Amino acid sequence: MSITIEKFSTCNTFFFERATRIRTEVFVNEQNVPAELEYDGLDNEAVHFLLFYEGMPCVTARYRAIDGKYKLERFATLKEYRGKNLGANLLHHILSDLTVKQKKIYLHSQDSAVGFYLKYGFVIEGNEFYEADIKHFKMFYLEK
């Protein structure tokens, strides 16, 4: 299994275009998230990641620093690559990139992904809420 992960900014148009295609397919086309919500104007503030499996770009995510915390965002895996632990691979890579000791890391998880994040050390904080008409929960990372 050949996996490579690239860390990049929006200045790298080659990687950013591929990440954008994945996000469009997953969020806009599959989940019917309006493009204006998906592309929130914050990509320039983010650190982006793109995972290649067997040379194909298939998983992406980003994080942003917000008020002394790090928010993980826009995790998306193309449908045909799901179930291969590629999302977990990217999540571990990002957490390692942040060198998690003494950093507050959180995310807004879609209800369908809560179980995934619970397995990797995140806990739910607060009540459900909706973003783009999809149920979400705020989750914080507790280093194991």
Q: Which of 69, 47, 61 is nearest to 18 (CA)?
A: 61
To the question of pTM greater than 0.85 for the whole model, the response is yes
Q: Which of 61, 144, 49 is nearest to 107 (CA)?
A: 61
- One pLDDT digit (tens) per residue for the chain, 144 residues: 799 999 999 999 999 999 999 999 999 999 999 999 999 999 999 999 999 999 999 999 999 999 989 999 999 999 999 999 999 999 999 999 987 666 799 999 999 999 999 999 999 999 999 999 999 999 999 876
- Domain ranges in the chain are 3-104
Architecture label for domain 3-104 = 3-Layer(aba) Sandwich (3.40)
